[in-house]
Structure 1
Amino acid sequence: MSFPNESSAYRTARNALLDAEIALRRQTEAVAAMRRALPPGGEVPEDFVFERIGANFRPEQVRMSELFGDFPTILIYSYMFGPERDVPCPGCTHLLDCIEGAARHVPQRAPLYVVARSPVARLAAWAHARGWNHLELLSTAGNDYSAHYYGNTAALTPAMRAQRGYGEDENWDEPMLNVFHKDGDTIRHFWGSELVFAPEDAGQHHRGLDFADAVWGLLDTTPEGRGDTFFPKVTYGQAAS
């Protein structure tokens, strides 16, 4: 194919890029196949109790086993919005802005939840203010889910802490997507976005969920790219944060 007035040099370079894009798509599909073929993961250590806003708009408790409904698989994203934060992490927030649209569709095959350590009423108020009508937010306040599944740095091993220069008592929220599979009464961990915690790769950012992030994907199509200084904010303008 060709576009109006393009040069032969452009078309040659674009065709080479197209070959690379096709190879990348094949690699993406191959990685997805490897993920689907993973053997059973570890059984969850307990039936974690979360808190959510119930049908009567009052907080209610819900067990992890109840989150599946009639589905065998659930997705849980750990949101960096603990009670010590005045505003949530802008990186997590812009990602969830992207996922909000997908949250109309993903639960048709697998329920999707967002968890954070703040009280559930605070999470519900934030979701309402943000215009999130399809993301379901749960509170992990009072349970150990985050410590087991890398929703905070408490789960890091001493070696991982040393590699990153973290102090023994330095703990904060971390972004993490985890997938769980239920077979009968047994719930097992299936996959987690471990790329976030992988050893540093020269010239690479530690982001682990670019496949779900429309912001970076769209910017990657522009001549300017993602840039070296831009990072999404919770708000823009004078009140930007």
Structure 2
Amino acid sequence: MSQSLHAVRFPGESDAYRHARDRLLKAEIELRRQIESTAALRRALPLGGAVPVDYFFDDEGDTPMDPDVERQLRLSDLFEDGKDSLIIYSFMYGPAMTQPCPSCSSILDALDGEMVHLRQRANLAVVARSPIQRIRRFARERGWRHLHLLSSAHNTYNTDYHGETADGSQIPALNVFVKRDGVIHHTWCSELMFVAPEPGQDPRHVDLIWPLWNLLDCTPEGRRADWRPSLWYGASASRS
């Protein structure tokens, strides 16, 4: 019998369990290596195209609980001193949608709690096509406190950076921009959504920022193809 990869054991585990767990652990080690090598390729990308226009966004600042804050900001204003990377998530909440995308809302529930940490290293904003007042109302109802929410209702950001199709359909795109020598460049987009997924799988292009599925992948039941997150559960389900 081959030697185990480590000496840690759990109550009641069998030799068969340990053998299978070591086989899985080898796969997890390879996955860790693959994640890092992929991240290294991402970091090594040359600069993408310069942003064609310094977009004006309708903005509410960083305080969605404050109904009196409303202004316009340019894309360049989203770069704080000392932080040259800007992450923008395209939130599927277009003006023709009766309610926001539940999956996007699940992602943003998690990001809202991480914002105080993310701000230490990078700039992050969330862009939706709906008017800023509509976005703000949903943010208050949802309890978001930290997300920097923007409306692209009066610019072409969504179509230029593939958060929206020509017919107005919304796409959950994640884009990263970087500022070099005063010029803003696009550097990365979640392009897995543009290629066909494996049979029975979602594109998984924004799994990097979506802890829900990563946690469910740790369970025996897994993700389950027949389940998706909802906006509300239990007594609150009537809102959806």
TM-score (norm. length: structure 2):
0.90
Match of 1:160? none
Separation (CA, whole Å) in 2 of partners of 1:45 and 1:229: 41
> Partners in 1 of 2:187 and 2:225 — Cα distance?
34
Which of 90, 97, 108 is matched with 2:109 structurally? Answer: 97
Q: How big is each residue's C-alpha offset from its partner over 1:121-163, in whole Å with a ceiling of 9 and x where there is no partner?
A: 2112211211111111000011000010001122xxxxxxxxx
Question: Are 2:34 and 1:34 aligned?
Answer: no
Give 1:110's aligned residue. 122
* Alignment length (residue pairs): 226
Question: 2:200·2:225 contact (CA, 8 Å) conserved in 1?
Answer: no
Distance in 2 between the 1:106 and 1:17 partners?
32
Deviations 1:69-94 (A, max 9, x none): 21211100000001111210011111
Aligned to 2:141, the other structure's residue is in SS state helix
> Which residue of structure 1 aligns with residue 163 of structure 2?
151
Structure 1 contact 76–112 (Cα < 8 Å) conserved: yes
Shift of 1:239: 1.7
Query: RMSD of the alignment, in Å?
Result: 1.5
Moved more, 185-194 or 230-239: 230-239
1:58 aligned to which of 50, 65, 69: 69
- TM-superposed deviation, 1:207: 2.4
Structure 2 unaligned runs (5+)? 1-7
Query: In structure 2, what is the equivalent of residue 25 of structure 1?
Result: 32
Query: In structure 1, what is the equivalent of residue 229 of structure 2?
Result: 232
Per the alignment, residue 222 of structure 1 pairs with 219
Q: Could you say which residue in structure 1 is the equivalent of 2:138?
A: 126
1:15 match:
22
Rounded Cα–Cα distance in structure 2 between residues aligned with 1:135 and 1:19? 38
Residue equivalent to 1:205: 202
Contact 1:233 1:240 in 2 (8 A): no
Q: What fraction of aligned residue pairs are identical, expressed as a percent?
A: 49
In 2, Cα distance between the equivalents of 1:177 and 1:188? Answer: 15
**1:192 and 2:189 equivalent?**
yes
Question: 1:82, 1:173 within 8 Å by CA — same for their partners in 2?
Answer: yes
TM-score when scaled to structure 1? 0.89
Q: Does 1:67 align with 2:78?
A: yes
Q: Please, which runs of 5 or more residues in structure 1 have no aligned partner?
A: 155-169
Greater Cα shift, 193-202 or 62-71: 193-202
